[in-house]
Each structure stands twice: as structure tokens, then as C-alpha cells.
Amino acid sequence: MAAVLTRDIVKKFNEVAAVDGISLRVPDGEFMVLLGPSGCGKTTFLRIICGLEQQTSGDLLIGGNIVNEIPPRARGVAMMFQSYGLYPHYTVRNNIAFPLRTQRVPREEIAKKVEWASQLLGIDHLLDRRPRQLSGGERQRVALARALVREPTALLLDEPLSNLDAKLRTSARQEIRNFQQRVGLTTIYVTHDQVEAMGMGDRIAVIDHGRVRQVGTPPEIYENPADLFVATFVGAPPMNIVSRNGGGYLGFRPENFLPRDMIEDGGATEFSFRVDRSEYLGSERIVYGVMEGFDSKQPITAKLPPAHVAEDSIRPGEWHPFAVKNSALRHFDTSGNRTTSH
Amino acid sequence: MPRPAARALRETGFYFGVAFFVILAAFPFYWMVITAFKQNSDLYDVTNIPFWFNEPPTLEHIKYLFEETLFARWLLNSLIIGLCVTAITLVTAVPAGYSLARMTSRKGEALGITIFLTYLVPPTLLFLPLSRIIAELGLQNSMWALVLVYPTFTIPFCSWLLMGFFKALPIEIEEAAIVDGCSLFGAFIKMAIPLSIPAILTVVIFTFTLTLQEFVYALTFVSSSDQKPITLGVTTDLIRGDVFFWGEIMAGALIAAIPVAIAYNLFLDRFIAGITGGAVK
């Protein structure tokens, strides 16, 4: 296990920069999530770390050593692919044993380690099957067992849950996280799903157009987004952004945008809000509308707490007094960067 | 029209259609089989019905082939040529197809099409420059000339065929192997090749069949009877002047066709998978 450090990594495909200068430090044992929309360069960045792509410039350090020129097999990292990349002509046992065989580990030791990894992931009853005889969840575990069996310096995961159905995804998320904490493995996890990122990461790096927009713990990313991209990418529904008089933007989360009477006095900013549409989601109600005197590209959303869920006090088509606590307001300058810390 | 009648009509039409094509395909083979076992007096009596035995079948043509001609030698020549050409084709076309398939950008595809185009140049044109090369190498009148020349048409087609198949193989499997400790070559040997066995079998059958049925180059480059492959031997040594040894010709063709027919049938499913493997994603 080792720390992974990148210094100003750039990767260009035909003069187009897919990765545009990423510097990132993943300390030993950390679970780092790379979060970004599809095509933002996060998978390319992961492939550079494991050595399947060569960076155009920049340095990559694993465990303190520069590994720019070192081939993938000597880097000691393990990677789990989106489609798992299991070997279809091998049994599960041989799939898991493969990374050890290429390292010429003695036979008895291979058997021992395969047993260890398969028990850890609860797939020891599947060892003699072939990948095509497994369900999606089982395949994912086999891929994980294969990645772990040789105790890699770092584990790289490329959207490992995207082939699972929604229910399985929730439990698999838990499993991967628990397992990572137990083994204490440095992990870099690529996803476009913010729920996975928020729920699993020790820290999140939000990436867009090949650049890191913000690195921080999930609460930091959510509460204090560094710029408009992070503010609108993280959170569902995303942060409300309105143009501010005198330039710049004002942002606030839908759950902080409440009817005036629900906010205790002191330090709140009032707005007049006209509800256009309202969605009942069981545990909450999301209302969409416009704010008097403010321009916004998207409809303004408010997430109303259970007290307001059942009743129809918020009627569409009417203007209501709403407010946001001043501590929940975020300010951005004209170029989209946050101007104040609170 | 009542529905059952319409259905019966449709089915009859269907089976007639199928029967027509089956007969069309099988008739030459049937003709070959009965001719090979007919007595000469039966064969050359124009008053007999030609579609069945009018006199008892005989093995005299086959006996003649093996005792009075170099037929066994021709069979052996064809086998040696076929095996050598297949080996040469595999050794070159498998890596070629793989590299073309895995070349990023459009270069690979363009190169693949260019290679395929060379397959379309007919042997009737190519034998002229090739005969010069064969002469320079001192391989005139030798079956080794054919071992050298046949790959010129098997390699392009097989490279192209394999390229399509390798393209359909998910690259993640090889990448996983590379991350798991293989070199690029190791991943090719351990992953790409075992997974493309159907395509490789297709190439083997295809190459072997092509070399077995080739005629123009054999006729151009070989003239001694003991160096001839079977196609050439049968047609040149069993047609003397205007005398056709029909029974022997057909017996020779039958014996050469049987192993190929068996091979095709054994691997038919895999063969089709190989042919269409790269076509549909």
C-alpha cells in the first residue's frame, strides 16, 4: 500500500487535452473519489495512473517513486474495469490466481491467497464456474477479488457499479467501502454518480474538462463549493444560482430555501417566490418556481421538509414569502469562483 | 381464401424453394460419387440412364488411381503444401490482424482495407511477375514455389478476417491482463489468442481449402508429375490428349473432397461464428 501523487499531469489526444494539468495527492489508505460528468477526463486520468496510457507531461509518483516510465505490470497497482474485464476462458479460481501466476508466486501460496480473497468476498462457492455463469454482482466480486489478491499498492476502480441494478448498487457500495476500510487500501474510485461519491469517499476530487475544480471531504464539497460548476454538479436538485445585483452570483441549496415562517429570526434574507410546479416525493416535496427580481437559467427549487409535505399551503401560481439564512448563502464572482468562505 | 389453405401453400412453396437449392448444391457432388464408382462400359454407353448405376458399382477407378498414377504422391504434395501455407498464414496473419484491430485512430482500418484490396488482384495477372521471382529463386518446377506463392492470397484475406474478429474482442480483457502483470505480448498470447480460436479455426479451414483448390499458379509453376498438387495432377495426368479418364478424375476429386467436407461439418458452427464474428457488434 502506498500514497499516489500526481504532479501537473497532462494528456493530449491530437492536441486536445483530455487531462489538463491534474495535481492530486492521495495519502496512503485514503478512499479518493474522482467525480465528474462523462468525458471530463477522469477515466483517462485513472488509466494514466495504472499505466495503460502514457501522460504527455507531468510526473506520477507511487509510494514516493516516480513511475512515469515503468510499465503497468511493475507498478503494483490493481484496476477494476467498468465491464470488469474478467477472463472468459478461465474459471473464477484461475481468474483470481492470474495476477499471482504472472508474478511467479509458488503454487501453494497462490492456492492460499485465492482462498483468502474468495472468502473475504464470499465467492468461495463459485471458484469452479466461468464468468459467463455468474450474475452481475458475482462478476463484480470476482473482479474485486482478482484486484485484491496480490495486495496491490493502490486499487483503481473505474465506475465499478454502473453495470449493477439500483438495489444491488446500494449494497455493493457498502461492501466496497467496508472492505476498503478493513484492508486500509489506497483507493481511487472514478464515478459520475454523486451519490456514490458522497457516500463512499474520504475525499472527493471534482473534475471537469480535464481539470480539478475542487478537492475536499464530501461536506466541504457540498457545503462550500469552490465554484459554480461544483455547486451545480453536486446535489440533487443542484444549488440554486441567481445573478446578483452588481455582478456575480448568489447560490443556496434547495433545502435551505424555506417559507419565511419556518426560519427563526435573525440573519435571513427574504425573497418572494412564485411556485409553478410541485413534486411530492414521499419524504419531501420539491417545488419549482421563479423569484421576484432575480434572473436564473434554471427554475428555482425548494426542498420542503416533512412539515410541509402533506399540506397544500404552498399553492402553485401564488407568490409566497420565502427566505434563506445568511449563513447558507454562497457568493460567487462573475467568473464563477466563490468569493467568501461563508 | 381460407387460412389453412393459404398456410399450406406457403409451406409448400417454402419447401420447394429449399429443395431446389439443395438439389442445385448437392447434384454435382452426387454426380461425382456415382461416376467414381461406375464401370467404364456403364459410363460410356449413351443409351443408359446416366443418373444411376446400370451395372454393378466398381472400385477399379480408385485402384487405377493408386496403382497406375502418382495420385498418392499428389495427395501428399497437396497436404504438405496445405500445412505449410496454413502455418505461414497463421504466423503472419494472426499478429497482423491483431495489430490492425488494436491500432488506434483510423489508420488501422485504412491499412486493413488496403491489405484486403491486394486480395482482389487476380492470380491470372499476378502469375506473370511472380514467375520471374520464382525463376530468380530457382524454384521452378517445385512444389515449394507454391508454398511461397499461395500466402500472397491467403495472408491478405485472413488478416482482414482476423482483424474483424479481434475488433469484436473487448479490449478490457487484454488491459486487465496487462495491469495484472502481463506484457503486451503476454496479453496477446494468453488472452487474445485463446479467445479467438473460432476465428483461427476459420482461417485454418479457409486457407487449407484455398490451397487445395488452387489451379492457376500450380499449372504455371509446376510441370513434373511428382511435384504436382492434386488439382493439377488429376486434370493434367488424367486427361491425355482428348481422352478423359472420367471415372478416375471423379474418384480423385471425391477422395480430395472428403476430408474437407468432414472438417467443414465438424467446425461448421464455429466457422460461421468466425466468418460473421466481426461483422455484428
Distance from CA of B190 to the nearest CA of A (A): 10
Contacts A–B by Cβ distance under 8 A: 57
Shared-domain flag, residues B19 and B125? no
Shared-domain flag, residues B251 and B212? yes
Shared-domain flag, residues A74 and A218? yes
What SS3 state is found at A204? strand
Q: What is the pLDDT along chain B (281 residues), one digit of tens a residue?
A: 567 888 999 999 999 999 999 999 999 999 999 999 998 888 888 888 888 888 888 888 889 889 888 989 999 999 999 999 999 999 999 999 999 888 866 777 788 888 888 888 888 888 889 989 999 999 888 999 999 999 998 999 899 889 888 988 888 899 999 999 899 899 999 999 988 888 898 899 889 888 988 888 999 899 888 899 988 988 888 888 888 888 889 999 898 888 888 877 877 766 666 555 443 33
Which pLDDT tens digit goes with each residue over A107-150? 999 999 999 989 888 898 999 999 888 888 889 889 989 998 98
Shared-domain flag, residues A41 and A187? yes
Which pLDDT tens digit goes with each residue over A93-111? 999 999 999 989 999 999 9
The CATH number covering residue B159 comes to 1.10.3720.10
Grid cell, residue B181, equals 502483470
Residue-range definition of the domain harbouring residue A284 = 239-339
CB contact under 8 A, A78 and B179: yes
Which pLDDT tens digit goes with each residue over A289-328? 998 888 777 889 999 877 665 566 777 888 888 889 988 8
Q: How many domains does chain B have?
A: 2
Looking at the partner chain, which of A73, A83, A88 has a beta carbon nearest the beta carbon of B181?
A73
Q: Is A76 at the interface with chain B, CB within 8 A?
A: no
> Order of strands, edge to edge, in the sheet holding A31-35?
A77-80, A154-158, A187-191, A31-35, A203-208, A211-216
| Interface predicted TM-score (ipTM) of this complex, two decimals | 0.83
Give the predicted TM-score (pTM) of the model: 0.80
CB contact under 8 A, A85 and B182: no
Query: d(Cα B37, Cα B53) in Å, to the nearest integer?
Result: 9
Predicted local distance difference test score (pLDDT) of residue A47: 94
Shared-domain flag, residues B33 and B95? no
When scoring A14, A77, A89 by the number of chain B Cβ atoms within 10 A, the one with the most, hence best to mutate, is A89
Predicted local distance difference test score (pLDDT) of residue B276: 52
**Ranges of H-type helices in A27-124:** 42-50, 72-75, 92-102, 107-120
Shared-domain flag, residues B154 and B225? yes
Distance from CA of B169 to the nearest CA of A (A): 11
Query: d(Cα B163, Cα B156) in Å, to the nearest integer?
Result: 11
Predicted local distance difference test score (pLDDT) of residue B274: 55
Predicted local distance difference test score (pLDDT) of residue B281: 30
- The residues near A285 (Cβ < 8 Å, ≥ 6 apart) are A278, A279, A303, A304, A308, A309, A314
Shared-domain flag, residues B22 and B151? no
List chain A residues with CB under 8 Å of B180.
73, 78, 98-99, 102, 146
Shared-domain flag, residues B22 and B95? no
The CATH number covering residue A301 comes to 2.40.50.140
Looking at the partner chain, which of B173, B178, B194 has a beta carbon nearest the beta carbon of A52?
B178
Q: Is residue A267 part of a domain?
A: yes
Shared-domain flag, residues B26 and B149? no
Predicted local distance difference test score (pLDDT) of residue B270: 65
CB contact under 8 A, B191 and A72: no
Residue-range definition of the domain harbouring residue B46 = 2-58
Q: What are phi and psi of A67, to 5 degrees?
A: -120, 20
User: Which positions of chain A have pLDDT values less than 50?
Assistant: 342
Q: How many domains does chain A have?
A: 2
Looking at the partner chain, which of B176, B191, B194 has a beta carbon nearest the beta carbon of A81?
B176
Shared-domain flag, residues A247 and A219? no
